[in-house]
Structure 1
Amino acid sequence: MTEVKTQADRKAAKAHKSPIREWFDSVLFAVVAATLIRWLFMEAFTIPTPSMENSLMVGDFLFVSKLHYGTRTPQTPLQVPLTHQKIWGTNIPSYSTAIQLPSYRLPGFTHVTNGDVVVFNVPPKYLNENIDYPTDLKTNYIKRCIGIPGDVLEVRQRAVFINGKPFPTPPRSEQKYFIKTTEVLDANFFRKFDIVNDYRDPSQPTENWKPLEQYNDSTKSAAMVGYSVNTTEDVIAKFKEFDWVKGIEPMSDKAGETGAGIYGTPTFNWNHDNFGPITVPKKGATIQIDAKSIALYGPVIELYEKNEAVAVSPTSITIGGKAITSYTFKQDYYFMMGDNRDNSLDSRFWGFVPEDHIVGKAVFVWMSLDPNPANVWNKIRWNRLFRIID
C-alpha cells in the first residue's frame, strides 16, 4: 500500500528544524528585537563617574528613553549589533564608515527642557579618545540640561541664573567644602553620608586637598585635621551639628579669576564657579562676528554646523574662503552641567551640545551596585532600585 502525504504533511515535514537551526533562529530573533528596542524605545546605561552625584551615583544602572525627544535614524548602519565604538572586550572597532547616512530625528512627545537629565554624545574630539567618531558613535555623557536654545546663562559663585532668574539647585546636587575637625575620619564614616568618591584626607594629599596651614583663623589648633569633601547641603547641615567639627568653608573660585581649561577663556575671565553670561545658540538666531563671539561660537560654526572649508582665527571666520561678518545658526544647542558641580567636566569646559548629539532622557534607575562596598551584603544599594530620575 502506497503512503499518501497531504500538502499539510509535507509543509510540516519541511518546517521541522534541527536543534542548531532552532537555537540560531532564537538568537537571531533576540538580537534583532534587542537592537530595535535599543534604537527605537529605550537603552540601558551605567554611571562610571561621580559627576552627577548624589543624584546619580557610580554603579547606578539606568534606562534612557529614546521616545521623549524622538529617536535618531542611524548615521552609521554598518555596525556590530548591540555595540557602540568597539567590539566587547577588545580595541577592535565595531563599525565601518564605508556608508554614512544623513541622520534625522523621528517625532518625540516632548523637547529637552531646563532641568532634564540627558544622555548625549559628547562633542569634543579630545573627549572621544582623540578619534573622530561619527556623531552617533561618540562617547555617551550624562548631565543635567541647564540652558536650552536662546537662554542667557550665568553662574555666579556657584549659583546658576537663567535669563536673570535663579535656577533651582537639584536637591541632591553636590559642591565642595573644606571641613575642619578635631576627629580623624575614615572611609566608613564618610560612607554613612554617601560620600564615597569625593573626599580627601591628610594622609592622601591631592590637588583638591589643602593643609590647615593655609587656613589662618582662630579655630585652628595643632590637633585639628581637615577634609575636602564634595557633598550635599543636607549633609553639611548634619556635619554642623557635630561638636568636634570646628569649621566648614565652601571651596570656590573667586569672580574674575581665570580658570584653567574653561570655555571662552582667555577672552573672558571665567572659572567653573563664575561663568558667563553666555547665550545658548538657537536655530535661526544670527550673531555678529567679532573677537568675543568668535571665542564663544567659533568652535560651533567650525565643528558642528556642517560648514565646508571653515577657518577660524581669534579675529575672523571664513567659510569657503570668504570672510563672514555675521552667522545664522543651523540647529539648536544646549548647555549641560553635572550635579556634582565641582567635579564635573561639562559645558563650562567644552561648550555647547548640538541638537543632533542628543540621545535621550534618563528616566529611572533599575539597579545600583556599590563599586566599593563595606561588605558583600551592601553590594546592592537597595534604596536606589527603581528610583525615578528627577
Structure 2
Amino acid sequence: MKKRLDFWDIILRVMYTFIGTGVVIGIIIAMRVYVVDQFAIPTDSMRPTLIPGDYVIVNKLIAGARIYDRLDFKDGDPLECHRMKGLRKVEHNDIVIFNFPINRSKYRIEFKINYVYGKRCIGLPGDTVEIRNGYFKNNNYNGIFGVEEEQRRLSETPDSLIANTVIHAFPFDFRHYSWTIKEFGPLYVPRKGGQVILDTVNFQLYRLVIEYETGEKLRVNAQRQLTLGGKPIDSYTFQGNYYFFCGDQVLNSNDSRYWGFVPEEFIVGVVTRITYSRDRESGEFRWDRLLKKVNK
C-alpha cells in the first residue's frame, strides 16, 4: 500500500526542487563567469580557422576571469573590474575574444559589455608590429602568424584591386604615414610603464590610448605645440597593457590595422575549441568541426 503524501511532504519536495534548480543554475553561471563561456562566430574574418556558424569555447582561466567591481554600468561607462590570476598570459597567435574597443561615433576607446570580437594576437604589450608586403612581422616573434596562405593572397593582390576603404589603414594620415594593410608600421604596442616620445605627428598613433587613460584631450594647439588637457607634453608613460589583434582572412577583417589597440581589461578569454558548427543557411550540422581543437 502506497504511503500518502501529506501537505508538508509536498512542500518539502517543492522546496528541494527549487533549491536543487537554484544550485544548478548557480553552478552554470559561476562556470560562465569564472571558467568557460561559449560564443558564436558571425563573420568570415577568421576564416578558415573559424567560420560563420561555429560555436567556440572560450577559456577564461588562461588569462584570468574578469570580476566586475560594479554591475550597474551603462555602455560607455568606465570598465571597473579586477582580474583573477590566470594560468598564463595571452601569447602570440592566441585567438582571443575581447570587447570591441572603439566607439565609432565619438572615435574613442569605450567599453560595451555585449559587443565582442574574436581575433588572433599579433602584438603583445611592448612588441613592435609591422606588415611587410602583406605579411605580419613582430620584433619578438619569428614564427608565422595566423594563416600564411591568406597573407600570401593579400601580397599577390594588386593594390588597384583593393577598395580604398579596405587598403588604407590606421592612423589614416596619408601625408605622414600612408600605411596600408600591406605596408604598415613599425608600431610599438603600449606596455604598462613603457614610455614614448611624442611630437605633433606621431601623437596620432597613441591619442586614443592616452585619452582613454587620462580622460584628457591630446591636441596640437594654435602654436603647433602638442598638449594634453591644455598642458604641453613631449612624452608619455603608459598606465596599462595593450594588444594588437588581427583576423586570419586579412583581406576581409575589421581589426587593429584599422582602429589600433585593445586594452588588457577588455580581454574576455582565449578560444581553445569549437564546440559545434551549423551552416547558417541550410542548418546542416558540420560533423567535421564537432569539438575540433583550435590550434595556434
TM-score by shorter chain over 0.5? yes
CA 1:45/1:138 → structure 2, altered by over 3 Å: closer, same or farther?
Answer: closer
Match in the other structure for 2:82: 104
Q: Distance in 2 between matches of 1:333 and 1:18?
A: 52
Give, as a single letter, the amino acid of the residue that structure 1 aligns with 2:90.
V
Determine if contact 2:207/2:218 at 8 Å carries over to the other structure. Answer: no
Match in the other structure for 2:41: 47
The alpha-carbon deviation at position 139 of structure 1 amounts to: 1.2
Match in the other structure for 1:143: 119
Secondary structure at the residue paired with 1:383? helix
Secondary structure at the residue paired with 2:276? strand
Match in the other structure for 2:190: 281
1:213-235 per-residue CA deviation (whole Å, 9 max, x = no partner) reads xxxxxxxxxxxxxxxxx9xxxxx
Q: Distance in 1 between matches of 2:258 and 2:107?
A: 19
Determine if contact 1:145/1:334 at 8 Å carries over to the other structure. Answer: yes
Give, as a single letter, the amino acid of the residue that structure 2 aligns with 1:68.
I
CA 1:169/1:282 → structure 2, altered by over 3 Å: closer, same or farther?
Answer: closer
Determine if contact 1:75/1:134 at 8 Å carries over to the other structure. Answer: no
Secondary structure at the residue paired with 1:17? helix
1:117-155 per-residue CA deviation (whole Å, 9 max, x = no partner) reads 1111111012xx879997361511000000111111110
Determine if contact 1:366/1:387 at 8 Å carries over to the other structure. Answer: yes
CA 1:272/1:41 → structure 2, altered by over 3 Å: closer, same or farther?
Answer: same
Aligned residues: 281
Secondary structure at the residue paired with 2:201? helix
Match in the other structure for 1:56: 50
Give unpaired runs (5+ residues) of structure 1.
1-11, 79-94, 178-229, 231-248
Match in the other structure for 1:221: none
Matched ranges for 1:177-196 at <5 A: none
Q: Distance in 1 between matches of 2:78 and 2:129?
A: 35
Give unpaired runs (5+ residues) of structure 2.
1-6
1:361-388 per-residue CA deviation (whole Å, 9 max, x = no partner) reads 0010010111134xx6xx1111111111
CA 1:15/1:66 → structure 2, altered by over 3 Å: closer, same or farther?
Answer: farther
Matched ranges for 1:316-327 at <5 A: 316-327=225-236
Q: Distance in 1 between matches of 2:145 and 2:215?
A: 40
Q: Distance in 1 between matches of 2:96 and 2:211?
A: 24
Determine if contact 1:149/1:332 at 8 Å carries over to the other structure. Answer: yes
Among 249, 258, 273, the alignment partner of 1:349 is: 258
Match in the other structure for 2:4: none
Give, as a single letter, the amino acid of the residue that structure 2 aligns with 1:17.
L
Matched ranges for 1:153-168 at <5 A: 153-163=129-139, 166-168=142-144
Give, as a single letter, the amino acid of the residue that structure 2 aligns with 1:300.
V
Q: Distance in 1 between matches of 2:158 and 2:69?
A: 42
Q: Distance in 2 between matches of 1:338 and 1:252?
A: 20
1:27-58 per-residue CA deviation (whole Å, 9 max, x = no partner) reads 43343222211110011101000000000011
Secondary structure at the residue paired with 2:83? coil
Determine if contact 1:253/1:272 at 8 Å carries over to the other structure. Answer: no
Determine if contact 1:302/1:311 at 8 Å carries over to the other structure. Answer: yes
Secondary structure at the residue paired with 1:144? strand
Secondary structure at the residue paired with 2:93? coil
Match in the other structure for 1:244: none
Which structure: larger Rg?
Answer: 1
Q: Say which is worse superposed, 41-50 or 259-268, in terms of deviation.
A: 259-268
CA 1:15/1:367 → structure 2, altered by over 3 Å: closer, same or farther?
Answer: same
Q: Say which is worse superposed, 156-165 or 257-266, in terms of deviation.
A: 257-266
Determine if contact 2:278/2:286 at 8 Å carries over to the other structure. Answer: yes
Give, as a single letter, the amino acid of the residue that structure 2 aligns with 1:117.
I
Sequence identity, in percent?
32
Among 14, 32, 35, the alignment partner of 1:38 is: 32
Match in the other structure for 1:380: 285
CA RMSD, aligned part only?
3.3
Give, as a single letter, the amino acid of the residue that structure 2 aligns with 1:383.
D
With structure 1 as the length reference, what TM-score do the two structures score? Answer: 0.64
1:157-216 per-residue CA deviation (whole Å, 9 max, x = no partner) reads 111111186540434863585xxxxxxxxxxxxxxxxxxxxxxxxxxxxxxxxxxxxxxx
Q: Distance in 1 between matches of 2:94 and 2:42?
A: 19
1:295-328 per-residue CA deviation (whole Å, 9 max, x = no partner) reads 111111012x1x1333434865534432222100
Match in the other structure for 1:243: none
Determine if contact 2:37/2:58 at 8 Å carries over to the other structure. Answer: yes
Match in the other structure for 2:11: 16
Match in the other structure for 1:290: 199
Q: Distance in 2 between matches of 1:24 and 1:324?
A: 61
